[in-house]
Amino acid sequence: MQRREYGNTGERLSIIGFGGILVSKVSAAEAGGLVAEAVDRGVNYFDVARSYGYGRAEEVVGQFLKGRRDQCVVATKVGIAPSFPGFVSRVLLPAARQLFDQSAEILGYDLANICFSGPPETLNATNHSQPALFVTSLAALESLKAQSPQVLEDCQAVAGLSLGEYTALVFAGVLEFETALRIVQERGSAMQAAAEAVSSGMVSVLGMELPQLEELIKQQRGPDETLQIANLLCPGNLIVSGDQAACLRLSEAATEAGAMKVLPLAVAGAFHTPIMQPAVDRLAAVLEEISFQPPRIPVIFNVDAQPHEDPQQIRELLVQQVVSPVLWEDSMRYLLNTGIDSFCEIGPGRVLRGLLRRIERKVNCENITC
């Protein structure tokens, strides 16, 4: 293969290089074969990055070039952030990385690769996004544990928004990671199937009071249609969920009625409504086989914004949550009323921190990403 001088280094590099991102997406055997074939064809320039397979590309290329390093040039780089903020920097913690390795064995696919390589439509599918959010949030917990273990030891209570409830249950000792991930996988798959069966969606309505929005919902909901409040997040921030046509009508009506902003959400379907009922039976069957432990600290549940300790009640609440509104504002007010004034948001993004500030401006909330 033709080679060219690389500046004044004296090195001569092949005019075709090997993109290391390839080996972050295949098995070790396939990766070794690709590297070997590239060398046999005269390639001596290999490009990798720590963000390719959360370090996997660097490891695999290095492993298969062992004994040939004097014949090849390997270039790597830093500072490339994947889909979830902070993902690369923290997932390399051994405990966090172990979570992703375990998840690959349980799920049957490379979750980390989907998280930062996508494509977006794959990551955004509910059957992938739910395991991704769950594992990423627990990886963030590992980051916090490594940096500030006392914060976790001093934690007095926990709550999780929608899927985040499973992260909360693992932290509270109700479920083991492996068990919870299998539940989340089934939940995501069941909800994706339910969403695909009906054309539905969710709409964020900002700057409108609850009674006014409820009246608009009554006006815009047609016969045999589903349209209801799905998430009560904070004052002036409500999510409506239902049949797609009804959501579109509501969006227009809310805009005309003076809502500050109306935004359709990039979700698979109408979560937290009866449209998800087909998913309930599948989830209930899985949960019935699971052993739940009493929580070591209070867990505030979405369905009623109250703590529960009884394992059977927890099982029932997780099932109800799929088709019930999320009472997030009430959950936060419950915690505030107990005297808690310092919070940590665990996981990608800063949405919950912003919501909490709308509920109580003076409260302290730190965001911990993975």
The whole-angstrom separation of Cα 364 and Cα 357 is 8
The whole-angstrom separation of Cα 41 and Cα 262 is 56
CA atoms within 13 A on the CB side of 335: 27
* pLDDT for res 88: 43
- Full-model pTM: 0.76
| Amino acid symbol at 122 | T
Cβ-count burial of 322 within 10 angstroms (0-12 exposed, 13-18 middle, 19+ buried)? Answer: buried
Q: What is the DSSP string of 149-172?
A: HHHHHT---EE-STTHHHHHHHHT
* pLDDT for res 125: 84
Q: What is the DSSP string of 55-120?
A: THHHHHHHHHTTT-TTT-EEE-------SSTTHHHHHTSHHHHHHHHHHHHHHSS-HHHHHHH--H
- Indicate the SS3 state at residue 131: helix
The whole-angstrom separation of Cα 248 and Cα 202 is 10
Active-site annotation holder among 103, 128, 200, 272: 272
Q: What is the DSSP string of 188-214?
A: HHHHHHHHHHS-EEEEEEES--HHHHH
Active site residue 272: yes
Q: Which residues of the chain have pLDDT under 70?
A: 24-28, 51, 53-54, 78-92, 370
The whole-angstrom separation of Cα 148 and Cα 142 is 10
* pLDDT for res 87: 47
The whole-angstrom separation of Cα 350 and Cα 328 is 15
* pLDDT for res 370: 63
* pLDDT for res 217: 97
Active-site annotation holder among 89, 148, 162, 204: 162
The whole-angstrom separation of Cα 232 and Cα 359 is 12
* pLDDT for res 78: 67
Which domains, from first to last, does the chain contain? 3-75 (no CATH), 87-194+275-368 (3.40.366.10), 199-269 (3.30.70.250)
Give the H/E segment covering residue 32.
helix 28-40
